[in-house]
Amino acid sequence: MRRVIFCQEQMFLAQGCLAFSDDDTVLYVVDDNAFKDRLAEAGYDVLCGDFRDPSVYKNAHIGQDDQILVQVQDEALMGDIVDNLYRIAKPPSVAVVTANGASPTLPPSVKHISVGRLLCQDSQLKLRHAREHQNVQHLREVLCEADNLLILIQHDPDPDAIASAMALRSLLGRNRKTAAIGSFGKVTRPENVAMVQLLDVKIEHVTAKSLSKYDAIAMVDVQPPYFGDIALPRVDAVIDHHPCVGNYATRYRDVRAAFGATATIFVRYLQAVEAKITQRLATALYYGIKTDTLFLGRETTKADIEAFAHLYPLANHALIRRMQRPKLPLRDVDAFAYALRSRTVIGPVFFTHLGIVEREDVLPQFAEFCLHVGGVEWSVVSGIFGGNLIVSVRNVENVKNAGELVRHAFGRLGSAGGHRSMAKAVIPLANLEQAFGRLSDVELSQFIQQEVSQYLGVGTPTAVFA
């Protein structure tokens, strides 16, 4: 690709020369001999002639592979240059540079570049970086004295929290010894388990007692009120995107409720201080933004999209595909085989009850799988875990709200809630026994089928639970 720039000296000085990429060869075409000599001395390829003379275009060998940039002040002259260029048998592509968006009448295929706007965008970005740089400096000052820092995240850490914790550690130039990532719970969702395994992230299990061994606590993707009654000895920094609830004291606070992910805040921090974003960190942050915004489909701002685009070329997409499709442990295969055989399909609803399960997460994982069955719009997978009947619900788009379904069907007996397309009910077996007496697995599954099909209006299960 060759770039040919039609340029006059006053424009060259006023606008700087727009040539964009260092990889392209550039030919300057000027109409002033003294200017030509100065450019030639500076080492540029340059040709001189009258811009209205067709031989200039011939001498420059302009053809359709060239990109032309016209930087002249006089609009009539600009029009004549474009005319000459478009008269070439195989004309090149043409853009004109104007001072501030003022656009002379030219064919629509000629694109306008506004130098004013370019400068404005650039200065806005620089001002933003300057502000974020100060944020990072403040954050570093607050945490620098701690020999033993804890980065605390929520009880069932999700990719946004894990990625943000990794980013904070990297911003502070620390490692897992000097800045542990900790949680009172543990990672349970299979996708998130896959993430910490594939990216080799260690999440320490902390208790209220073990907190005392840290000399500073930073929270990411969560705020102190989340921890309820757990007595936190101190909170030094909070970086989050959830709306603030309740008051708390902290030395550093950056809460941006408009952002779709905490990872987006960290991408801005990293950009501002020109920190190197390793492939591992980029992969985590990219996955964090992707999952928290449901692939930019939910509560997404321009900031999230910019951060996502910045990370895209840096992230390992093969690894992300592996996180999204976590492997099924061999010992779960039998449970799945049993569940498939013992299914009940009522209208568009796929029901199955697994009885006692070893791990709770097989239920949502299997519910996800059952949605792939032809004609199925809802999947309702239940099992018994830890003394509770757990009901996991998934649906396809454009049907009733899954969260409301479980609230209506099971809310009176236990905790039930969720989103549009995924929901869960946790019903203590003791509550069921109190209401109905002791129930067998067959009776439990009949009970679930009856409650769900009644709410969805999909007909009645064959055996009615009285």
* Shortest Å, Cβ 158 to Mn ion: 7
* Shortest Å, Cβ 223 to Mn ion: 11
* Shortest Å, Cβ 159 to Mn ion: 8
- Which of residues 163 and 172 has its CB atom nearest to Mn ion in the complex? 163
Binding pattern to Mn ion, positions 118-157, x when CB under 5 A?
----------------------------------------
Q: Please state, in angstroms and rounded to a whole number, the distance separating the CA atoms of residues 372 and 354.
A: 18
* Cβ neighbour number for residue 359 with a 10 Å cutoff: 15
Single-letter code of the amino acid located at 364: P
- Which of residues 27 and 161 has its CB atom nearest to Mn ion in the complex? 161
Residues in 57-76 at the binding interface with Mn ion, rule: CB under 5 A: none
Contacts of 405-411 with CB under 8 Å at 24 or more apart are 405/452, 405/455, 405/456, 408/455, 409/448, 409/451, 409/452, 409/454, 409/455, 410/451
* Shortest Å, Cβ 220 to Mn ion: 9
The answer to whether 254 contacts Mn ion (rule: CB under 5 A) is: no
* Shortest Å, Cβ 125 to Mn ion: 25
Q: Please state, in angstroms and rounded to a whole number, the distance separating the CA atoms of residues 134 and 336.
A: 53
Paired tokens of 41: 């001395």
> What secondary structure does DSSP assign to 177-207, as a single string?
TTEEEEESS---SHHHHHHHHHTT--EEE--
- Which of residues 132 and 160 has its CB atom nearest to Mn ion in the complex? 160
- Which of residues 293 and 450 has its CB atom nearest to Mn ion in the complex? 293
Binding-site size for Mn ion (CB under 5 A) equals: 4
The answer to whether 360 contacts Mn ion (rule: CB under 5 A) is: no
- Which of residues 262 and 352 has its CB atom nearest to Mn ion in the complex? 262
Overall size of the chain counted in residues: 466
Stretch that binds Mn ion, among 20-28, 135-143, 214-222, 371-379 (CB under 5 A): 214-222
Stretch that binds Mn ion, among 220-228, 264-272, 372-380, 436-444 (CB under 5 A): 220-228
Closest-approach residue to Mn ion (CB): 160
Is the Cβ–Cβ distance between 427 and 392 less than 8 Å? no
- Which of residues 99 and 257 has its CB atom nearest to Mn ion in the complex? 257
Paired tokens of 195: 């993430």
- Which of residues 236 and 292 has its CB atom nearest to Mn ion in the complex? 292
Stretch that binds Mn ion, among 158-166, 198-206, 301-309, 351-359 (CB under 5 A): 158-166
Q: Please state, in angstroms and rounded to a whole number, the distance separating the CA atoms of residues 346 and 225.
A: 43
* Cβ neighbour number for residue 384 with a 10 Å cutoff: 18
Q: Starting at the earlier edge strand, list the strands of the sheet with 111-114.
A: 45-48, 25-30, 2-7, 66-71, 93-98, 111-114
Among 31, 66, 132, 221, binds Mn ion (CB under 5 A): 221
Q: Please state, in angstroms and rounded to a whole number, the distance separating the CA atoms of residues 370 and 53.
A: 72
- Which of residues 239 and 425 has its CB atom nearest to Mn ion in the complex? 239
Q: Which residues contact 385 (CB under 8 A, 6 or more apart)?
A: 356, 357, 359, 360, 363
Stretch that binds Mn ion, among 1-9, 255-263, 318-326, 395-403 (CB under 5 A): 255-263
* Shortest Å, Cβ 160 to Mn ion: 3
* Shortest Å, Cβ 250 to Mn ion: 18
Stretch that binds Mn ion, among 30-38, 72-80, 115-123, 258-266 (CB under 5 A): 258-266
The answer to whether 160 contacts Mn ion (rule: CB under 5 A) is: yes
> For the chain, give me the number of helices (H) and strands (E)?
16, 18
- Which of residues 70 and 239 has its CB atom nearest to Mn ion in the complex? 239
* Shortest Å, Cβ 288 to Mn ion: 7
* Shortest Å, Cβ 307 to Mn ion: 13
Paired tokens of 253: 């606070």
Residues in 284-323 at the binding interface with Mn ion, rule: CB under 5 A: 292
Contacts of 32-37 with CB under 8 Å at 24 or more apart are 32/8, 35/8, 35/9
The runs of H, that is alpha helices, within 21-154 are 33-41, 54-59, 75-87, 115-143
> What secondary structure does DSSP assign to 382-416, as a single string?
EEEETTEEEEEEEE-SSS--HHHHHHHHHTTTSEE
- Which of residues 262 and 395 has its CB atom nearest to Mn ion in the complex? 262
- Which of residues 11 and 163 has its CB atom nearest to Mn ion in the complex? 163
Stretch that binds Mn ion, among 16-24, 55-63, 160-168, 432-440 (CB under 5 A): 160-168
- Which of residues 8 and 154 has its CB atom nearest to Mn ion in the complex? 154
Q: Please state, in angstroms and rounded to a whole number, the distance separating the CA atoms of residues 93 and 90.
A: 10
Binding pattern to Mn ion, positions 325-354, x when CB under 5 A?
------------------------------
Q: Please state, in angstroms and rounded to a whole number, the distance separating the CA atoms of residues 217 and 183.
A: 12
Residues within the interface to Mn ion (CB under 5 A): 160, 221, 262, 292
